[in-house]
Chain A
Amino acid sequence: MKDMNAEPMLEVRDVVHKYGPVTALSHVSLSAAKGEFLTILGSSGSGKTTMLRVISGLETPTSVSCLRIGGESVVGVPAARRRCTTVFQNYALFPHMTVVENVAYGLKIRKVPTGDALKEAQRALAMVQLEAKADRNIRQLSGGERQRVALARAVVTKPAVLLLDEPLGALDERLRQDMQLELMDLQRKLDMTFVYITHSQEEALTMSDRVVLMRHGRIEQSGEPLDLFDHPVSRFAADFMGYENILDGRLVRRDGAVGEIDLGGGAVVRGKLISTDLAVGSPVSIALRAERLSPVGPGGNGIDGTMKSKVYRGKYTDIVMETVAGALRMRSWHGAPMENETASRVGWKETDAVIFAKGSV
């Protein structure tokens, strides 16, 4: 675990940014410790890219009360003089320079003697397994290789914070998974603070030490990946983190961390409460992952229903159960044995269901 008490490498407090009448960032604060892998997760329009541009200095925020990189305040400091570099989504490699010239450019600007700069650049290229292609033209590289060059170019100047703007977005599935592992490896080796932007919850969960989920220019939830995965605090967070079933009801009883909610139609189910300040009687939602549901006998925590459809998908079987609270999606990993079964009740462990306040969508 990272030492969160050390002075943060990145500290942003209360940033507001408006594009004309549109508010892209509304009082957002975040920080990242040295060597931390922080992911800003969100769909397009959530403000995550604006956040990155504000940090890098390519965008000047409407207002910000504190913006520090590597311990120095960079409010009003132009992008060129901030100790952070960016790996751009489209790579933005210089087409008229060779691979090694691209990587060495940041060093050249910092007046590093040419010989040393090229040596450093070669070392950075070796780190991304591209030393053999140092003298190639950018056009001769594949998408994945360009990605690595962009990465080498950004880390070679040893920034306090490395910003990555959906860097794997343009790569195919297989390459993306390989690059995820490589990025994590690189980040650990360099012990550098990474701020990674993505819309993919899978990338966020795989790589990050901490995830910040953004929505409409605000932070919806932040925490460790497991936290977001298992304890979404709102319908939006649950939906974004891949909860297939979200049912609305009313909290009827609470017993420590366990709540009991009435879904209507006589169905009363249990799950764990995300927040302790939910009052009995208040409207809540319960979120359930399809793979944590299973057919149960009568009486257990769950809800009665009838099987509506069953689709065999090889590794697993997707089942839709019709219940009084609406359709419930269930995923069974048992494969063939499930095939001939029917179920009349679907249930789950109390700790596998989360209950949060029913907010606006």
Chain B
Amino acid sequence: MSDLSVLPAPETDAKLEISFSPLWKTAGKWLGLGMLGLIYFPLLWLVLLSISRDPLSGIPGPFSLEHYRALFASDAWHMPMVASILIGLIIGLISAVTATVIGRAVPKMHRPGKMLVMFVLPLFVPGMSMGAALFIFARSVLGFDLGFWSIAVGHYVWALPYALLIVLVVTLRFDQSLIEAGRDLGASDWQIFRDIEFPILMPGIVSAGLFGFLMSFNEVMRTIFLRGTAETMPVWNWVQAAAQQSQVPIIFSLSSIILVLTLPLLAGTFWLLFAKLNKTS
């Protein structure tokens, strides 16, 4: 060990060579692109089929808007659509409000960790179990007739944890000394909330509401248990698609419309939460 420079270079391990081969980088890139294709191609295909004359053939073209015309001529989907939008709006609003109330309290709690874990856990409870549990709860315990309001309860339980997590992004970052600064400058508690706290939390609260709406609007599993005879948009879609009848082509149109309307909403949520938020704090 007198002179390090004379030590022989370590033998290169053939196995190690393979695991760091440039091949992996290329393979990873193409695999990633392939998976992205698998995710987005069916969506694109759906939109293409919805404007095709014979969507059930699976091949786009020749193109026509006749199914959209049929969709707007029919009113069978109106009630489910109205029900879904209404429940979505209610859930979005209530989730945003409750998440804000809880989320504002969390930073002041002594050890909120356990409660937060309990809140996040339902995200991993199988929808089927949750649906069945809520079914019994709503019918026997709350005495609800299954329908609109039992669906709303199920959606609320489903959407709230997401809304809370989103609101926590802003409330945990909120600097409590700003409240003291406001008080010091002479503002009342209400003025402090209106002028200082709410504007800073706003992106999170709005995102939570939008996300709550989307979670409710897209929910199927719990709705199936809780719907009684009521129908929401996705449930109606699913029933129609499963029924193998002539209505099917308009499902494609409807799904396309929903897709085109939902994506910007989701993009807006994340823009608010991350891009906008970083500008205010």
User: How does the 8 Å CB contact mask read for A155-177 relative to B, with 1 for contact and 0 for none?
Assistant: 00100000000000000000000
The 8 Å CB contact of B196, one of A78, A90, A94, is: A94
* Interface assignment of A234: CB less than 8 Å from any CB of chain B: no
Q: Can you list 24 residue pairs at the A/B interface with Cβ under 8 Å? A: A57-B183, A58-B183, A58-B184, A79-B184, A80-B183, A80-B184, A80-B187, A80-B188, A85-B185, A88-B177, A88-B181, A92-B177, A94-B178, A94-B181, A95-B200, A95-B280, A95-B281, A96-B196, A96-B199, A96-B281, A106-B185, A106-B186, A137-B279, A157-B185
Measured in the bound complex, the distance between the Cα atoms of B198 and A94 in whole Å is: 12
A55 to B: closest C-beta gap in Å: 11
Number of A interface residues, CB 8 Å?
Answer: 25
Whether B186 pairs with A80 at a CB distance below 8 angstroms is yes
Residues of A within 8 A of B281 (CB): 95-96
* Interface assignment of A86: CB less than 8 Å from any CB of chain B: yes
Interface residues of B (CB under 8 A from A): 175, 177-178, 180-188, 191, 195-196, 199-200, 279-281
Instruction: Select from chain A the residue with minimum beta-carbon distance to B199.
Output: A96
Interface residues of A (CB under 8 A from B): 56-58, 78-81, 85-86, 88, 90, 92-96, 105-106, 109-110, 137, 139, 153-154, 157
The 8 Å CB contact of A58, one of B180, B188, B200, is: B180
Measured in the bound complex, the distance between the Cα atoms of B181 and A106 in whole Å is: 10
Given contacts A92-B175, A92-B178, A95-B200, contact A86 B184 (CB under 8 A): yes
The 8 Å CB contact of A81, one of B175, B186, B279, is: B186
Whether A85 pairs with B184 at a CB distance below 8 angstroms is yes
Measured in the bound complex, the distance between the Cα atoms of B182 and A79 in whole Å is: 10
A137 to B: closest C-beta gap in Å: 8
Measured in the bound complex, the distance between the Cα atoms of B183 and A88 in whole Å is: 12
The 8 Å CB contact of B180, one of A88, A95, A139, A157, is: A88
Whether A153 pairs with B186 at a CB distance below 8 angstroms is no
Give chain B's interface secondary structure class. helix
Instruction: Select from chain A the residue with minimum beta-carbon distance to B177.
Output: A92
Measured in the bound complex, the distance between the Cα atoms of B233 and A44 in whole Å is: 62
Measured in the bound complex, the distance between the Cα atoms of B133 and A238 in whole Å is: 73
Measured in the bound complex, the distance between the Cα atoms of B184 and A92 in whole Å is: 11
Measured in the bound complex, the distance between the Cα atoms of B191 and A80 in whole Å is: 11
Measured in the bound complex, the distance between the Cα atoms of B36 and A217 in whole Å is: 65
Measured in the bound complex, the distance between the Cα atoms of B184 and A86 in whole Å is: 7
B125 to A: closest C-beta gap in Å: 37
Measured in the bound complex, the distance between the Cα atoms of B197 and A182 in whole Å is: 32
Most chain B C-beta atoms within 10 Å of own C-beta, residue among A57, A58, A110, A157: A58
Residues of A within 8 A of B280 (CB): 95-96
B55 to A: closest C-beta gap in Å: 49
Instruction: Select from chain B the residue with minimum beta-carbon distance to A156.
Output: B185
Instruction: Select from chain B the residue with minimum beta-carbon distance to A83.
Output: B186
The 8 Å CB contact of A90, one of B177, B195, B279, is: B177
Measured in the bound complex, the distance between the Cα atoms of B188 and A106 in whole Å is: 11
Whether A92 pairs with B186 at a CB distance below 8 angstroms is no
Residues of A within 8 A of B196 (CB): 94, 96
Most chain B C-beta atoms within 10 Å of own C-beta, residue among A105, A137, A154: A105
Residues of A within 8 A of B175 (CB): 90, 92
Given contacts A96-B200, A157-B186, contact A105 B195 (CB under 8 A): yes
Given contacts A80-B186, A157-B186, contact A92 B180 (CB under 8 A): yes
Residues of A within 8 A of B184 (CB): 56-58, 79-80, 85-86, 88
Residues of B within 8 A of A153 (CB): 185
B148 to A: closest C-beta gap in Å: 39
Instruction: Select from chain B the residue with minimum beta-carbon distance to A92.
Output: B181
Measured in the bound complex, the distance between the Cα atoms of B191 and A109 in whole Å is: 8
Can you add 16 more A-B contacts, CB < 8 Å, to A86-B184, A95-B280?
Answer: A78-B183, A81-B186, A85-B184, A88-B181, A92-B178, A92-B180, A94-B178, A95-B178, A95-B200, A96-B199, A96-B280, A105-B182, A109-B185, A109-B191, A153-B185, A157-B185
Instruction: Select from chain B the residue with minimum beta-carbon distance to A90.
Output: B177
Measured in the bound complex, the distance between the Cα atoms of B186 and A78 in whole Å is: 9
Residues of B within 8 A of A139 (CB): 279
Measured in the bound complex, the distance between the Cα atoms of B183 and A109 in whole Å is: 10
B232 to A: closest C-beta gap in Å: 38
Residues of A within 8 A of B181 (CB): 86, 88, 92-94
Measured in the bound complex, the distance between the Cα atoms of B205 and A184 in whole Å is: 44
Measured in the bound complex, the distance between the Cα atoms of B188 and A88 in whole Å is: 19
Given contacts A94-B178, A95-B281, contact A110 B186 (CB under 8 A): yes
Instruction: Select from chain A the residue with minimum beta-carbon distance to B202.
Output: A96
Measured in the bound complex, the distance between the Cα atoms of B185 and A153 in whole Å is: 8
B178 to A: closest C-beta gap in Å: 6
Whether B186 pairs with A109 at a CB distance below 8 angstroms is yes
Measured in the bound complex, the distance between the Cα atoms of B32 and A104 in whole Å is: 53
Measured in the bound complex, the distance between the Cα atoms of B189 and A81 in whole Å is: 12
B140 to A: closest C-beta gap in Å: 48
Instruction: Select from chain B the residue with minimum beta-carbon distance to A86.
Output: B184
Measured in the bound complex, the distance between the Cα atoms of B180 and A153 in whole Å is: 14
Whether B187 pairs with A109 at a CB distance below 8 angstroms is yes
A34 to B: closest C-beta gap in Å: 21
Measured in the bound complex, the distance between the Cα atoms of B175 and A93 in whole Å is: 10
Measured in the bound complex, the distance between the Cα atoms of B178 and A90 in whole Å is: 10
Measured in the bound complex, the distance between the Cα atoms of B279 and A78 in whole Å is: 33
Measured in the bound complex, the distance between the Cα atoms of B280 and A92 in whole Å is: 14
Measured in the bound complex, the distance between the Cα atoms of B195 and A94 in whole Å is: 10
